[in-house]
Chains A and B, each alone.
Chain A
Amino acid sequence: MHGHAEVITHHDVHHDEHHVHHHKETFITKYIFSQDHKTIGKQFLITGIVWAIIGGLFSVLFRLQLGFPEQTFPILETFFGRWAAGGVIQPEFYYALVTIHGTVLVFFVLTAGLSGTFANLLIPLQIGARDMASPFLNMLSYWFFFIASVIMFSSLFVHTGPASGGWTVYPPLSALHQASKGSEIGMDLWLVSMAMFIVSSLLGGLNYIATILNMRTKGMSMTRMPLTMWAILFTAILGVLSFPVLLSGAILLLFDRNLGTSFYLSDIYVAGQILPNEGGSAILFQHLFWFLGHPEVYIILLPAMGMVSEILSVNSRKPIFGYMAMVGSLFAICILAFLVWAHHMFVTGLNPFLGAFFVLLTLLIAVPSAIKVFNWLTTLWRGNIRFTPATLFAIGFVSLFISGGLTGLFLGNSTIDIHLHDTKFVVAHFHIVMGVASMFGMHAGIYHWFPKMFGRFLNHTLGYIHFWITMVGAYLIFWPMHYEGLAGVPRRYLDLREWHSFNKFDDLNKMITVVSIIVFAAQLMFVFNFFYSIFKGRKVRTPNPWGSNTLEWTTPINPGHGNWPGEIPEVHRWAYDYAKDGREFIPQTEPIGPNESTDH
């Protein structure tokens, strides 16, 4: 322990050599209660992968119901008993699946699994630090996430089932035990799990901010940082400022559920019973929820944007185009993210005048987003592009971000949102722009930094197959879904057969289900590749396999706790001197040459 304390205080690069390697590590301190940021990053990643498999499997199950509502699957009854009585997914089970799929994918996979993994892995390595500002808090951050995971997982096994009111858990549905089975103990577990998760994400976020601001190595000014660092910094700021609001919202909901308060409840007659609550506002919860919920979208998206910027630049062998504009647009998105939450609430009876401001601010986000897209395109222009699996996923990210970003212009405009709100159009939109795009960013990051994590490569052939199935599949699943939304098909409908207006999409829903099963199988193949390659993958033989400028590739192939065996290198330039003065790449550690052009 004392070794780490010194690491924290003596981050001055020239004075803290070697001692970090001397303390003995047991299996427990090395792999379980580890304070090494790299191990914590891997812990986040592997936990995230486990949740991604669960969440993905759930989506396949409810897609089975959506695609084949008339068919029975006896095997489901074997596994799920009364929840799939007669081989048919029961409505209560369907809603539980949808709810838990949303919750774990948004929070456990794309927040903890994405930010947790890459912030922990990359911050110290890319800014040149031995570890995070507080390795102990960092370890706590993971273990709070772990507790949250255990509680959420256990909620799947309670008698009345897990939460089933949708991942947004709007009260009064989520507040009233009588309103739904999922609003029994499963909902309390959901709320407690989220509270633990929020603690985890606050501990992590504070750590990320402190580390990036204070522990950069000599010469690493803010504007020399790789864009991944900027993205993670803004992500952490967003999380630290918005998650507490959700925490308060969740605690008030716990009070309403269990202590008889009326924060969200008023004028309720449910299940033949008149409740005494008066004066609460159900809409208040939506404000609290979306004050986090919207920034959350960017908490998920920004790290992916940062990694995509880095990966596109490295693999086109060209500097990222418009570095300052990229930082500026990240900043603009970060600010605007706090000012648009009510665009999720255009049809709640919101004052139309207030709605108008949210329309304006929401559509304003398209400007920094457009800057980012054009800058990525220009980064590819006249490059010399190597299509590693990471590059392909990064290009896929840009494509999906364009598609999903543009459909955002439909939903952000309140007039159109009146028709499209809570339809399949919304489902298609946010899966493309937030879900799949960020997942692509995460995959890109994993393929790119796997060699740094484990000293081995992922199998690239499997990587290419993984990419192509996922890319084609993502569009096949979500593109036609927009048409269902335009026809007004509401989300969270598990059977459209009784509806005269909505029952025209049978063949489409079947196709989507079949494709989603194939895509899920491709993800399982990736998971297999991941675990196989940790032990048996092709070994990395050079410290800098991608010819990258950033600091993480100046460490040994398998860096120990402390990252650099000797001094932490000093930085002399920004991270993007590719193709400069006829040289393929110039690492950040190389001093500016006497005849070097000063342009950047």
Chain B
Amino acid sequence: MQTTFIILILLLGFLITFQIAKASEYVAVMRGEEKSRKQTNKINAFLLLVFLILGLIGVYYCNEKYGGKILQFGSAASDHGHDVDNMLKITLVITGIVFVITQIILFWFAYKYQESDNRKAYFYPHNNKLEVLWTAVPAIVLTVMVGFGLYYWFRITGEAPANAMQIEVTASQFKWEFRYPGKDKVLGKKYFKAINESENNPLGQLWEDSANKDDIYIAPGDPMHLVVNKPVRLIINAKDVIHDVGLSHFRLKMDAVPGTPTTMWFTPTKTTAQMKKDLDDPDFVFEISCDQMCGVGHYKMRGSIVVESQEEFDFWMAKQKPKFYLAHPEKDPEAMKAKADSSNVNAAVVPQKNN
């Protein structure tokens, strides 16, 4: 009902506008077309000036209103994020100046040089000096921007430090899985054809590789844990289609491509607790968003990260159990021990579960 009403109103507005427009043509004929054309010309010139002024005020207002919502612009939560923020600032200043000057010139000229009986247009087909000037100046400014940009770019994409923590990220339709290398600091080999979810091997780890024995698997929905001020290198995979690890607060992003692992490294500089305090927001969480269209659940492919101190991290890590033992409970020393205890009590030997 409401929709019908809105459509009716739109239709009515439509008809009225059209009738006015139609009438204006007749009025123009009656008043003399040239005269009414000149009047519309004046109105439009004036409106262009109004548009410029209101537009610039609007740009300012927009910045006031939304500038505070852009994730602590200028104080990103990672070292590379600072580089990105710095480059953003440089670009913002340069383009901001050009934007304001050129828009003012454009609309001011349009207003000032509106048709008038007292002025003749000026025949001015070219001026080589001017043209060289406005080729050279943008070229110089852009060189500066490219220079800064590439300086930061190579810093961000350079080799990770040797002491960086390695974490494997695996994206698949609409979830995130993580793997830590465990005590040996080496991620075991895996192969997509070994993926078998019913046998507790969602990543396709090759169990014959001994490096896999202590790898820790973090299931979808559970957060990735990072240590503050400790560099981390993400090794990024996808199982099905292209996804993207988007870390807005860290200002970082990298595609997850099936068949082609990618990497990205950074150092988180703020803990989750500190962010909660800084933002006065007890619910704050570092989110991982999928930034590459990946299908129907793309918009809710959400992961999270906890950044904490080394002690907190160690405490958390100590509670994790390698995936190898979950897939092979018979080889789990703790489970064996527990079983040994229980078989002492109960003499009947339970056949090993083999699913």
Minimal beta-carbon separation of B7 from chain A (angstroms): 9
Q: Is A75 an interface residue (CB 8 A)?
A: yes
The B interface is mostly helix, strand or loop, or mixed, namely helix
Q: Is A30 an interface residue (CB 8 A)?
A: no
Partner of B114, one of A385, A421, A465, A471: A385
Q: Is A510 an interface residue (CB 8 A)?
A: no
Contacts of B105 in A (CB 8 A): 377
* Contact A399–B173 (Cβ < 8 Å): no
Contacts A179-B240, A269-B192, A269-B239; A521 near B14 (Cβ below 8 A): yes
Q: Is A416 an interface residue (CB 8 A)?
A: yes
Contacts of B91 in A (CB 8 A): 409-410, 413, 416
Contacts A176-B241, A267-B258, A600-B125; A382 near B113 (Cβ below 8 A): yes
Q: Is B214 an interface residue (CB 8 A)?
A: no
Interface residues of A (CB under 8 A from B): 73-75, 91-92, 95, 164-166, 168, 170-173, 176, 179-181, 265-272, 274, 278, 280-283, 316-325, 347-349, 352, 355-356, 359-360, 363-364, 366-367, 370-371, 373-375, 377-378, 380-387, 392, 395, 398-399, 402-403, 406-407, 409-410, 413-416, 418-419, 421-423, 459-462, 464-465, 468, 471-472, 475, 479-480, 483-484, 486-488, 490, 492-496, 498-502, 504-505, 508, 521, 524-525, 528-529, 538, 576, 578-582, 584, 599-600
Minimal beta-carbon separation of A460 from chain B (angstroms): 7
Partner of A268, one of B130, B258, B291: B258
Instruction: Report how far A323 CA is from B123 CA in the complex, Å.
Output: 13
Contacts of A584 in B (CB 8 A): 121
Stretch of B18-26, B310-318, B333-341, B346-354 contacting A (4+ beta carbons < 8 Å): B18-26
* Contact A282–B258 (Cβ < 8 Å): yes
Contacts of B24 in A (CB 8 A): 461
Contacts A270-B240, A402-B99, A579-B120; A363 near B145 (Cβ below 8 A): yes
Known: A176-B240, A352-B157. 20 other contacts (CB 8 A): A95-B298, A180-B296, A270-B241, A274-B192, A282-B242, A318-B124, A363-B149, A367-B142, A373-B102, A382-B122, A384-B121, A385-B110, A398-B106, A418-B80, A418-B252, A422-B292, A495-B299, A500-B287, A501-B287, A521-B13
Contacts of A164 in B (CB 8 A): 296
* Contact B138–A578 (Cβ < 8 Å): no
Minimal beta-carbon separation of A349 from chain B (angstroms): 3
Contacts A355-B157, A359-B153, A475-B55; A459 near B21 (Cβ below 8 A): yes
Contacts A347-B253, A384-B119; A179 near B248 (Cβ below 8 A): no
* Contact A578–B121 (Cβ < 8 Å): yes
* Contact B154–A399 (Cβ < 8 Å): no
Instruction: Report how far A599 CA is from B116 CA in the complex, Å.
Output: 26
Stretch of B68-76, B181-189, B322-330 contacting A (4+ beta carbons < 8 Å): B68-76
Which residue of A278, A409, A579 has the most chain B CB atoms within 10 A of its CB atom? A409
Q: List 26 A-B contacts (CB under 8 A).
A: A173-B293, A179-B241, A181-B296, A267-B239, A281-B259, A363-B142, A367-B142, A370-B135, A380-B109, A381-B124, A384-B113, A385-B114, A418-B84, A418-B253, A419-B251, A419-B252, A480-B66, A488-B249, A492-B299, A494-B299, A496-B299, A502-B289, A528-B18, A578-B123, A579-B121, A581-B123
Contacts of B239 in A (CB 8 A): 267-270
* Contact B291–A422 (Cβ < 8 Å): yes
Instruction: Report how far A317 CA is from B13 CA in the complex, Å.
Output: 36
Instruction: Report how far A524 CA is from B10 CA in the complex, Å.
Output: 11
Q: Is B200 an interface residue (CB 8 A)?
A: no
Partner of A380, one of B40, B106, B297: B106
Instruction: Report how far A282 CA is from B258 CA in the complex, Å.
Output: 7
Contacts of A272 in B (CB 8 A): 197
